[in-house]
């Protein structure tokens, strides 16, 4: 099953020429989940061939503009392009007022249903459970209410021991039941336990998204053992005071989060415009957690 994330924006609030504010498109089994939607996200989707029409879920971490100002334009365009299928938005409650006010004055009546679920930045909440994934929001520690999001694959199907079941001439129609864990009784009435015919599935993969936050161990348990951890790293560690003041994380701290939560891989982003190049941020995080990569616009990470 496909499980990958494409970076659409990697900058913090002040714009810089070659970086866009935060947005990521997560592809899970060919369904798209948009995470944050900074100004210009639509253009980034066109640039990197991410089909906006295929987005079913949008997650907004908090109401600083660099995380949601592209949303009204995106909704308008989906409308103008004839979307009819519902869209689910998970966001802080006031975002609905902000969107409604703008559509009121533009006299726009969106032709597809928008279903809102308001996030709660005070506790861990399960937001979505579908056939592919369970999605959870969890509190981060920012200047205004802010949540991270955890995307965990549903338990995967067991794997058939191909040689054996072919040798036994088990009907193909029964394969899906075997994958789900059923035992098999052959035509002579002989029972085969499932674990004779299949092996355990791979461990469900997880992607943890930590938008703007102070380094704070309160969310470590929720994001533990992620296959990919996205964590903001706005500053170098020589600006730790500034990070504290603005409720952001340094690249060194982001590496520490990945190390302590036993992530497989770390992607850092939300870079301050003061850093024209990003090598120092990467090196700093790698000094603690070598498996660090940079969020770069257009880059896709397989999870």
Catalytic residue set: 66
- Could you tell me where the beta strands, DSSP code E, fall in the chain? 3-9, 23-28, 31-37, 55-59, 87-91, 114-118, 125-129, 133-139, 147-153, 159-160, 184-185, 191-192, 198-199, 206-210, 228-232, 265-269, 292-294, 300-302
**Dist CA 75 CA 53 (whole Å):** 10
Q: Which of 56, 63, 114, 265 binds a second copy (CB under 8 A)?
A: 63
Considering the rule CB under 8 A, would residue 96 count as an interface residue with a second copy? Answer: no
Contact region with a second copy (CB under 8 A), list: 15-23, 226-234, 253-261, 295-303: 15-23
- Give residue 177's Cα distance to chain centre: 31
Considering the rule CB under 8 A, would residue 102 count as an interface residue with a second copy? Answer: yes
Considering the rule CB under 8 A, would residue 114 count as an interface residue with a second copy? Answer: no
Considering the rule CB under 8 A, would residue 70 count as an interface residue with a second copy? Answer: yes
Site string for a second copy, 138-177 (x = CB under 8 A): -----xx---------------------------------
**Dist CA 174 CA 166 (whole Å):** 12
Cα Rg, the chain, nearest whole Å: 22
Exposure letters 53-63 (e unless 16+ CB within 10 A, then b): eebebbbbbbb
Q: Which of 23, 50, 60, 72 binds a second copy (CB under 8 A)?
A: 72
Considering the rule CB under 8 A, would residue 15 count as an interface residue with a second copy? Answer: yes
Q: Which of 77, 134, 194, 222 binds a second copy (CB under 8 A)?
A: 77
Considering the rule CB under 8 A, would residue 111 count as an interface residue with a second copy? Answer: no
- DSSP H helices, the chain, are 41-47, 71-80, 94-105, 162-167, 175-180, 194-197, 220-223, 240-246, 251-260, 279-286
Considering the rule CB under 8 A, would residue 101 count as an interface residue with a second copy? Answer: yes
Considering the rule CB under 8 A, would residue 24 count as an interface residue with a second copy? Answer: no
Residues at the annotated binding site for Zn(2+)? 62, 64, 66-67, 142, 212, 270
Provide the binding-site residues for a second copy, judged by CB under 8 A. 13-17, 20-21, 39-40, 42-43, 46-47, 63-66, 69-70, 72-73, 76-77, 80-81, 92, 94-95, 97-98, 101-102, 104-107, 143-144
């Amino acid at each position: 099953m496909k499980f990958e994330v494409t970076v659409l924006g990697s900058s913090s609030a002040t714009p810089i020429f070659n970086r866009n504010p935060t947005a990521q498109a997560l592809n899970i089994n060919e369904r798209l989940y948009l995470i944050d939607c900074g100004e210009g996200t639509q253009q980034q989707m066109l640039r990197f061939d991410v089909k906006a029409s295929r987005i079913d879920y949008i997650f907004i971490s908090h109401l600083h503009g660099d995380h949601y100002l592209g949303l009204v334009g995106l909704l308008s365009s989906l409308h103008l392009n004839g979307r009819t299928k519902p869209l689910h938005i998970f966001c802080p409650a006031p975002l609905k007022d902000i969107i409604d006010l703008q559509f009121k004055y533009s006299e726009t009546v969106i032709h597809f249903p928008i279903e809102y679920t308001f996030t709660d930045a005070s506790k861990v909440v399960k937001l979505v459970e579908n056939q592919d994934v369970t999605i959870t929001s969890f509190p981060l520690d920012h200047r205004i209410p802010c949540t991270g999001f955890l995307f965990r694959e549903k338990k995967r199907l067991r794997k058939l021991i191909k040689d054996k079941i072919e040798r036994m001439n088990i009907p193909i129609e029964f394969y899906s039941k075997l994958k789900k864990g059923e035992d098999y009784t052959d035509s002579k009435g002989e029972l085969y336990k499932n674990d004779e015919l299949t092996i355990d599935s791979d461990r469900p993969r997880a992607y943890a998204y930590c938008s703007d936050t102070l380094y704070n161990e309160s969310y470590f348990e929720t994001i533990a053992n992620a296959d990919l951890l996205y964590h903001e790293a706005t500053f170098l560690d020589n600006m730790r005071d500034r990070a504290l003041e603005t409720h952001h994380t340094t690249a060194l701290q982001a590496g520490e989060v990945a190390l302590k939560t036993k992530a497989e891989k770390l992607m850092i982003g939300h870079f301050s415009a003061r850093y024209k190049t990003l090598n120092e941020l990467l090196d700093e995080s790698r000094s603690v957690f070598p498996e660090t990569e940079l969020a770069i616009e257009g880059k896709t990470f397989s999870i």
